Amino acid sequence: MTISVSLNGEVFDQVVYSRESDFEELVAKNAETIFGDKAIYIDVKRKITTTTLGGTIPDGFLMDLSDIENPEFYLVEAELQSHDFFGHIFPQITKFFAFYRDSKQRQKLIETMFTLFRENAILENKIRESIGSREIYKFLKDTMDNSQNILIVIDGPKPEFEEIVDTYTDTWAQMVRIQIVNHFGKGENSIKNLPFSDALSPSPDKETAETSRYTEEFHLQNRPTRVVEMYKKLRQEFINVKNTLRFNPTTSYIGVVDARQIAFIMLQKKKIRLVVLMGENEVKETLHSGHHKVVGHTPEDQHWWGGSNPNCTVALIDTEHWDEIQRLLTQLVEKHQET
């Protein structure tokens, strides 16, 4: 069945891909639209040989620099929904896990990345815009030593993903993100979605009141003690503000629920991402020390998280200036008592 969407009175039909190479090309050509202007995507299949990384060749390398103090690195694999999961997708991703475990191969990856940036002025200028005068090699090494992720870009959902995440909690649940990219076209015009920054997250507006089969413990597994303790402190601060708040764990975040969801908590390797339904300028005014970084959202991400409600992300890296976080949570809860 062909899916269609309507935009500004025009009907766009879904483009169905039968060849993986065509879908890979779509991802490469529309990388900034798909991943955002703070990300650097490198289409590597045409740039490295099979032996460069020990026989492991992903479709691309992705550096997410939206939070420059906590950059994220991904091996990217473009897949088709029609592909057999256990016969095709699962073995490929398993190779990436093995690759990351091999320190020698990771070092080759760092050197390969450095060469790609050094030999391409566009890539070098792009990363310079984010890191300034910092040494590129050291930045790449620090990033890849601390961030080892896999991103599967696929043209539709596969039910096996949820099952495998539940089974392999130390690999698939912690290291793999899934991004569904739908392509709709009409003549020369086309639409590609979804926003990369929260591609795994179900739309908060579509969630039901049903009890999730995910738990807070699921999100705390294999997280550093410092991040776990910071989450417990954050959770208690929410309760201190209003003891009837509920915490709703989903596959990719823990929602904070009053009459509706007012915040979304995502535990990462070094920090906690806290999405709050408050405007960026309002949040920055409360977190006036600048210690906890406030990241604005694109219009697409704004709509994704809060619909018509302004929202932004706060990056929590420690418990310094915690009094500012306490004030923020109080303002957040009080703000949504009025709606």
pLDDT at 256 over 80: yes
| Nearest to 78, CA basis, from 217, 203, 178 | 178
Once rounded to an integer, what is the mean pLDDT over residues 102-106? 90
Topology annotation, domain 204-337: Aspartate Aminotransferase, domain 1 (3.90.1150)
Q: Is 314 helix (H, G, I), strand (E, B) or coil?
A: strand
What percent of the chain is modeled with pLDDT above 90?
53
Q: Give the pLDDT confidence of 312-325 residue by residue, as tens digits.
A: 999 999 999 999 99
**Burial classification of residue 256, based on how many CB atoms lie within 10 Å of its CB (0-12 exposed, 13-18 middle, 19 or more buried):** buried
Domain locations in the chain?
Answer: 4-198, 204-337
What are the two backbone dihedrals, phi and then psi, of residue 54, each rounded to the nearest 5 degrees? 65, 35
CA distance 98 to 248: 33
pLDDT for 222 equals 78
Largest CA distance in the chain: 61
Q: Give the pLDDT confidence of 265-289 residue by residue, as tens digits.
A: 999 878 899 999 999 999 999 999 9
pLDDT for 211 equals 44
Reported as a pLDDT band with limits 50, 70 and 90, residue 188 is low
Question: pTM of the predicted model, to two decimals?
Answer: 0.65
Residue owning tokens 């600048």: 290
